[in-house]
Amino acid sequence: MIPEKQKILIVDDSEMNRAILTGILDDGYDFLEAENGLQALDVLRAHRDISLVLLDIVMPELDGFGVLSVMGEQHWIDQTPVIMISAESDSMLVERAYQLGATDYISRPFDKSVVRRRVINTLMLYGKQKHLMRMITEQVYRREKSNRLMTGILSHIVEFRNAESGPHSNRLGASAAPACAQDGSLRPDGGRYRAHQHRFRPARHRQNQHSGFHPQQARQADGGGIRGRQDACRRRRFHPAKPSDDAG
């Protein structure tokens, strides 16, 4: 497949200058021509695939600075580079052209090697820039697509787990109820946590419950329990027993 030729728009009020530039660049490009700034804008609107503009400064109806201003307002200058061509050597004009977005400057009379090299370099620079922008755009698009896909998968997982967790909890409760009722651990109020409180009580307390004693009665029967034994130890420590008469 033959690659498509790049389009170059030559804007100059002199037909001879346009012919000279076309001859210098040979047949490696497709050429479009305009003899003033207004025609150049019409061509730019009709052909958005123009690769380069060779633009004269001094022209009737609309000069090169006017064309640059419109291209900047329409953001065409971001995609289509412009090389200014003029016989004017005033540095102020050249500086103004650069400020308005011109990429390079070629003076007349034309030097064939300079014209060719600057056109080639400008086209290569903008071609690499466009390729880089396409790569970045594709990477951003793929990343956003991957993020949307991952978000959709996670949302489906969350919805699935939420839908399963409710019935699963109900099934667990229903299966545990007969077992708890069988060993008498489930109270009539159906409390989930209170059903097993007796397992965490002290063994002595559970023994008292089964024997029918109240905890207070158990302590009295045990001589006051732990507290009673502690009091007895204190009394023996501070009031030792008197020796008996038989000790002599």
Provide the β-strand partners of residue 11. 34, 55
Look at residue 46 in the predicted model and tell me its pLDDT: 94
Look at residue 56 in the predicted model and tell me its pLDDT: 95
Phi–psi pair at 105, nearest 5 degrees? -140, 130
Per-residue pLDDT of the chain (248 residues; tens, 9 = 90+): 566 889 999 999 999 999 999 999 987 899 999 999 999 999 999 998 999 999 999 999 999 999 999 999 999 998 899 999 988 778 898 899 999 999 999 998 999 999 999 999 999 987 776 657 677 777 777 777 777 777 777 776 776 666 655 555 556 555 555 555 555 544 545 454 444 444 545 555 555 554 554 555 545 555 555 565 666 556 665 555 555 555 44
Could you write out the DSSP letters of every residue in the chain? -PPPPEEEEEE-S-HHHHHHHHHHHTTSEEEEEESSHHHHHHHHHH-TTEEEEEEESS-SSS-HHHHHHHHHHTTGGGTS-EEEEES---HHHHHHHHHTT--EEEESSPPHHHHHHHHHHHHHHHHHHHHHHHHHHHHHHHHHHHHHHHHHHHHHHHHHHHHHHHHHHHHHHHHHHHHHHHTT-S-TT--TTGGGGGGGS-HHHHHHHHHT--HHHHHHHTTSHHHHHHHHHHHHHHSPPPPPGGG-
